[in-house]
Amino acid sequence: MSFLISIFQLSLTILAMSEHSLQNQKPLTYLALGDSYTIGEGVAEKDRYPVQLVRALNSMGNDTWSDPQIIAKTGWTVDELQAGIDGSETNPQGYDLVTLLIGVNNQYRGRSVAEFEKEFEALLTRAIGFARGKKDHVVVVSIPDWGVTPFALNKGSDQKKVAVEIDAYNAAKKAVCSQLGVAFVEITADYRAIGFQPEMVVEDELHPSGLVYSRWTQKLLTQVQEIKF
């Protein structure tokens, strides 16, 4: 009888320890780096894709995620994002997930792909550092083609020229990702098919609406689900 009581007490102790461990488990952390697409120019905070991604991950119930830390600003190029990171407080313990979407403003300002590729490699290396050196915890998102938007059409932009340049930038990004062993999520083709629709842009007729970001979120979610946290 005393043996059974001891086993029962041991079980209660293990259960209590497990509950204590769960209660004290720190939420997973996420750093989102980028420009207007990451900060969600023109949309409510809840519609930004990093916020949507965390909401989706938390709804799955496997892990608990804290609110994403977003370092991004409309108009930023790669070097300006680097400076923005320098001027921000980041977690010295690193992050469980890091996403990176940058480059459209380098293209928009007419900078060379070769210059971009070199700067992007340095930035991606830094992003891997934020992920504690875990390359599979970093996800890069391709650059959407702003040339299909009503803004570009009204401005009389050369859509073919923009498309060719965006493709060149994305090819450079993908090559660097392959070289460094980082996942590359392609959203450009889908955006080209929907980015001209009125409901897919915000008031400025240039930046994506929450509907677009929800599509990006699903693609990111599929990729993030493959990561072991």
User: Which two structure tokens, joined as six digits, stand for 24?
Assistant: 């004290």
The tens-digit pLDDT sequence of the chain (229 residues) is: 554 445 445 444 444 334 434 444 799 999 999 999 999 999 999 999 999 999 999 999 889 999 999 999 999 999 999 999 999 999 999 999 999 999 999 999 999 999 999 999 999 999 999 999 999 999 999 999 999 999 999 999 999 999 999 999 999 999 999 999 999 999 999 999 999 999 999 999 999 999 999 999 999 999 999 999 9
Please state at what angle helix 159-180 crosses helix 113-130, rounded to 10 degrees.
40
- Examine residue 11 and state whether it is found in any structural domain, yes or no: no
- Examine residue 87 and state whether it is found in any structural domain, yes or no: yes
173-225 residue pLDDT tens: 999 999 999 999 999 999 999 999 999 999 999 999 999 999 999 999 999 99
Q: Which residue, chain included where needed, has tokens 């970001």?
A: 213
- Examine residue 10 and state whether it is found in any structural domain, yes or no: no
Give CA–CA dist 32/98, Å, rounded.
6
Count of C-beta atoms within a 10 Å radius of residue 133? 10
Q: Is residue 88 classed as helix, strand or coil in its secondary structure?
A: coil
How many folded domains does the chain comprise?
Answer: 1
- Examine residue 188 and state whether it is found in any structural domain, yes or no: yes
- Examine residue 5 and state whether it is found in any structural domain, yes or no: no
User: Which two structure tokens, joined as six digits, stand for 210?
Assistant: 């929450």
Domain containing residue 88: 27-224
| Spatial CB neighbours of 40, under 8 Å, sequence gap ≥ 6 | 47, 48, 49, 51, 207, 210, 213
* Secondary structure, 3-state, 161-188: HHHHHHHHHHHHHHHHHHHHCCEEECCH
Which residue type, as a one-letter code, is found at position 97? Answer: L
pTM confidence score = 0.89
- Examine residue 198 and state whether it is found in any structural domain, yes or no: yes
CATH of the domain at 59: 3.40.50.1110
User: Which two structure tokens, joined as six digits, stand for 113?
Assistant: 């792909």
- Examine residue 95 and state whether it is found in any structural domain, yes or no: yes
